[in-house]
Amino acid sequence: MSFINIELDKDSHTYAAGDKVYGKVVVYKKRRPKKVKCIMVQFEGGAVVSIIDHLEERPVTSIECCLNTSICIYGEENAALNVVRIRPGRNEYTFEYQLPRGLPSTFKGKHGSVSYQVKAVIWKSSSVYATTHVPLFINGLFDLNNDPGARKCVEVRRENKLWSMCMCHNGKVKLYFSLPKQGYVASEVVPFTVEISNFTFNHLRLVKISLIQVAFYVIEGKQRKSQAKIILETKGPEISPGKVQIWKGESEEDSFRIPENILPTKLCTCSIIQIHYQLQITVKESNHKSNRDKAIVEAFLPLTIGTIPLEDYLIPAARPSVSPPPSPYADFAFVDDDIEEEKPSKDARTSVTIENFPPSYHEITKEYFI
Nearest-angstrom CA–CA distance, 56 and 142: 38
Q: Tell whether the model's pLDDT for residue 155 goes beyond 80.
A: yes
Contact 277, 303 (CB under 8 A): yes
Are the CB atoms for 22 and 107 separated by under 8 Å? no
Collapsing DSSP to helix, strand or coil, 86 comes out as strand
Q: Report the alpha-carbon distance of residue 292 to residue 96 in Å, rounded.
A: 57
Q: How far is CA 300 from CA 95, 173, 204, in A?
A: 48, 16, 19
Sorted by where each starts, the structural domains of the chain and their CATH numbers stand as: 2-141+361-365 (2.60.40.640), 144-317 (2.60.40.640)
pLDDT of residue 358: 66
Distance between first and last Cα of the chain: 20
Across the range 162-187, mean pLDDT stands at 84
Which whole number is the average pLDDT over 66-76? Answer: 95
Three-class DSSP category at 65:
strand
At residue 333, the pLDDT reads: 32
Nearest Cα to 330, choosing from 258, 234, 257, 227?
Answer: 227
pLDDT number for residue 147: 94
Distance CA 262, CA 244 (A): 34
Between 179-193, 262-276, 334-348, the lowest mean confidence (pLDDT) is in: 334-348
Residue type, 149: G
279 in Cβ contact with 192 (< 8 Å): yes
* Residue 169 confidence (pLDDT): 62
Distance CA(293)–CA(285), nearest Å, equals 9
Per-residue pLDDT tens over the stretch 6-60? 999 999 999 999 999 999 999 998 888 889 999 999 999 999 998 887 776 778 8
Query: What pLDDT score does 323 carry?
Result: 33
pLDDT tens sequence across 307-346: 999 997 655 544 433 333 333 333 333 333 333 333 333 3
Percentage of residues of the chain with pLDDT beyond 90: 58
Q: Which of 193, 215, 211 is nearest to 114 (CA)?
A: 215
For the chain, the average pLDDT equals 82
CA distance 213 to 225: 14
More confident residue, 323 or 117: 117
pTM: 0.77
Which residues neighbour 266 within 8 Å (Cβ) at sequence distance 6 or greater?
Answer: 142, 274, 275, 276
Tally of residues, the chain: 370
Pseudo-torsion of CA 271, 273, 274, 280, nearest 10°?
Answer: 170
Which has more confidence, 150 or 357? 150
Q: Is the confidence at residue 349, as pLDDT, over 50?
A: no
**Residue 285 pLDDT more than 90?**
no
Report the alpha-carbon angle 287-256-282, nearest 5.
Answer: 30
Q: What is the pLDDT of residues 231-260, one digit of tens each?
A: 999 999 999 999 999 999 877 677 799 999
